[in-house]
A and B are shown apart, each in its own frame.
Chain A
C-alpha cells in the first residue's frame, strides 16, 4: 500500500501500536469485539522476532494478573478483553490501581454498545472511574495506535495502570494507520519499593493515599492531553462534549461547513474540569455525546439534576440505550432526517444459527429427548458460547445464559432448591475459564446434577482460538473429584444419538454429580485445519 500506510482494524491498530511502543507481553481471553488484538499479535512477525509473549489466558482475571506480573518485572505489557471480561478481572484490575505499575501497564477493554455479540452494554469508563486510574478512549484508529505510546508513558510516569477503552465500531472498523519508529523493549527492572505490590491492610492504606494523591496529576494530564481538544465556535447557544468515537458522529454532520458550536473532544480521563467549565460558562446549553452509558452526562447533572441545560441520553435528545450513529446525531443537532428508502414488508430477520454438521446440534437433540421430552421445559442451564444458540428454535433446549461459568453454579443452586433433573451445558473453553471452581462446589456437596461439557476443542464463537481445555477435560474433572464412573465421554453424531440419550438417562438416575463430555471438533476449525494441512502438503 502507498506511503507505508497499514490498513488496520482498530483492534489491530492497538496491537501494532503496542508492538511499536515496545511491549513485551500480551495477555487476553477472546471476546468480541476485542479478540483481534491478540490474533494480530499472534500473527505478527515483529512480535515473533521480538519474542513478545502472546498467548491466550484461561480467563480475563488471569490475563490481568499475568500482565501485572510483567509490569512488576519492569516491562511494558497489556491485558485485553471485552467489557464483561473486565467484570471477571475486576478484582485484579481494581487492586492494581493500588499497587500501581512498574513497567507500563495497559488494560484494553472493548465495549459493545447495542450488544452486537454480548449480554449487556456496560460502559467500562465506570470501571476506570471506580478504580480511579487514567483512561484513554480513541476517536479513530490512528488515535488507537498513538494511544498505546501515550498510555505506556502515562503509566510509567505515574506508576499506574491505564485503561484503554474501545467500542465495537472502532475495534471492528478498518482505516489507514501511519506508523511511528518502533521502540525497544525494556529490560527487567524490579520496583524500587519491594512492598509496592503487597496490599496488606497497613500497606494498602498507604497505597490508597498514594492513589488519592495522584488524582490531581491524572486530571492535569487529561487537561494537557493532545487527545482532548477544545474547538471554539461562534454559535454559543449550544456547546458539545463529544467522547471518543462520538466526535466522529458529530463531525459527520458538519464536515462541509465546520462545527459552528464550541466543542470539547474528550478522549482522555479523568474529565478535565477546566475545559468543561469553560464550555459550560460560554454556552447556553450543553449536549453530551457518548457511545455507551451517559457517564459524563451524569457527572454534569449531579445528584439533584437541577441544571436543565444539559442534553444527552438522559434528557432524551439521544436514545438512552444502544450504539450511536450519524443519523441519531443529525436529529439531536436539529437537522432534518435525510430521506432514505424503507424496508419492504416480508423481509425477515436471519438469526445466527449453528453451522451444518456442528456437534452442538447432536447434543441439543439428545438433551431434548432425554430431559425436555421426559421432564418438560425448564431444567437446563447454559452458558456463553455457540451452544447458547440452543435457546433458539428448532432446539429451544436451554433456559439460561448469564455469565461465563454460571451454567454449573446455577444448576447447583436449582438442585439445592430441589429441582430434578438439574442440568448444565457448558463449552470446553468456558469450562476452563470459569466452570472448574463451580464444578468443585458441586463435587464438595455431591449435588444431584448433570454437567455436559460440550468439547469442540476450541473457543468457537470468537473464531476458533485454542482452548486451554484441550485434551485435559477428563483429568480436570477427575482431579476436581468427580467419580470416574460418572465421567462419560462420547463422540456426538446423528448415529450416536441413541447412545447419547441412554448415557444422559443413566446419569440422571445417579444421585450425585455426573459429567458427560461429548467430544467432536468444531466444523469451522476442522475445515480450516484440513485446508492448511493440504496447503502445507503441496
Chain B
C-alpha cells in the first residue's frame, strides 16, 4: 500500500493538524510515513503545502513525484488548484470552497470552483459552514479530514483516535465536537459522491 497526499492551504490555516491526524492513524496502523513541511518565510500568509507519504514499505523521497499524488487535500479552493501537476490522473481533489482572500487579485470564486469541478474525481465542500453548523467554528480542518477519509485506505477508527490524541489536552468536550465534525465531513462526501459525480 502506498498513499501520497498533498496538503494545501495558506500559512496560518493549520494544515499541519490534518497531517498530525492522518500521520497518527498511519503509524498506529503500523505503516511508515514521511511528511515534508513548509517552515519559514511562506508561513506569513503565503501558500503552504505539505507532502504526506504513507506506505507499508520503505519510503524514499520526502517529496511526492509530480503526477503521482493520490489526493490533493486543500483547505482553500485556489490553493487546491496550484498543485494539480502533482495529482495522478486517478487521484482525488478534495477541497474546502471557502476562499482565504489575503491578496487583492484573488480570482473570481466561481471560476475557481469551476476549475475544481473540471477535475474528474473531486469533492468540493464548504467546510467552514459545516464546522459552524456543528458549533465548532475552528473545526474546518477536521471536516476536511472527514471528507477525505472516504477515499483513504486508513480505518476511520484510527483517524478518530488521532483526533482524540491531538485534542485530548483541550478536554473531552472538544474531542467529541471534533469527532462530530469529522463525521459530518465524511457524510457530506458520501452524499457528494452519490449525487454530484
Contact = CB atoms under 8 A, between A and B. Distances in A.
Interface of A: 1-2, 5, 7, 9, 32-33, 35-36, 116-117, 169-170, 172-176, 245, 247-249, 251-252, 255, 325-327, 330, 337-344, 346-355, 386, 389, 461-463
A353 B47 CA distance: 11
B10 A350 contact: yes
Contacts of B11: 352
16 contacts: A2-B28, A2-B30, A5-B27, A9-B37, A33-B40, A173-B34, A173-B37, A176-B27, A327-B67, A338-B68, A340-B67, A340-B68, A341-B85, A346-B107, A347-B81, A350-B102
B42 A116 contact: yes
Given A173-B36, A348-B106, A353-B44, A342 B62 contact: no
A248 B64 CA distance: 11
A346 B107 CA distance: 6
A461 B39 CA distance: 10
B38 interface: yes
B27 A462 contact: no
The 8 closest A-B pairs by CB, nearest first: A338-B67, A340-B67, A341-B84, A117-B40, A32-B40, A326-B65, A352-B44, A173-B62
B153 interface: no
Contacts of B103: 348, 350-351
B33 interface: yes
A89 B154 CA distance: 47
Interface string B112-140: 10010011000000000000000000000
B81 A339 contact: no
B66 A350 contact: no
B122 to A, nearest CB: 11
B63 A350 contact: no
Given A7-B33, A116-B38, A461-B41, A169 B62 contact: yes
B47 A340 contact: no
B108 to A, nearest CB: 8
A352 B115 contact: no
B17 interface: no
Interface of B: 10-11, 23-24, 27-28, 30, 32-47, 51, 59-68, 78-79, 81-82, 84-89, 102-103, 105-107, 111-112, 115, 118-119
Contact of B63 (A247, A325, A347): A325
Given A174-B37, A352-B45, A252 B28 contact: no
Contacts of B63: 169, 249, 325-326
A9 B66 CA distance: 23
A247 B61 CA distance: 9
B41 A116 contact: yes
B33 A325 contact: no
Contact of B66 (A170, A248, A340): A340
Contact of B33 (A117, A174, A338, A342): A174
A240 to B, nearest CB: 14
A32 B42 CA distance: 11
A296 B119 CA distance: 43
Nearest to B24: A1
A427 to B, nearest CB: 14
B39 A36 contact: yes
Contacts of A35: 39
B115 A353 contact: no
A266 to B, nearest CB: 16
Contacts of A9: 37
Contacts of A252: 60-61, 65
Nearest to A31: B40
Given A176-B27, A350-B45, A342 B65 contact: no
Contacts of B85: 340-343
A343 B33 CA distance: 27
A174 B23 contact: yes
Given A330-B65, A340-B85, A172 B30 contact: no
Contacts of B111: 346
A325 B64 CA distance: 8
Contacts of A342: 84-85
Contact of B62 (A248, A251, A338, A354): A248
Residue among A117, A354, A386 having the largest count of chain B Cβ atoms under 10 Å = A117
Most chain B beta-carbon contacts within 10 A, residue among A33, A247, A347: A347
A307 to B, nearest CB: 29
